[in-house]
Amino acid sequence: MRKKQVKLDLIGLKCPIPVLKIAKNIKKINVGDILIVDVDDPKAENDIEELVQNIKIKVLDKVKQTNKLTFKIEKVY
């Protein structure tokens, strides 16, 4: 079965909103699917890393650019 990729643009949102939206969207996708998340709140990086430890998701990639941070997150459970 092919993994589905879902893009989530959270640019302009301040924490804790990005983390809440990630948690909500993780529930909507299937195990093995990928959530690609763009954020620009500097606090989001730490909050997302903490979220990874609390729910069954895995960060496959994290790319820092000048004005945004992109996470590639896989639902593992």
Catalytic residue set: 15
Burial label, 22 (beta-carbon count in 10 A; 0-12, 13-18, 19+):
buried
Q: How many CB atoms lie within 10 A of CB 73?
A: 25
Cα separation of 66 and 19, whole Å? 21
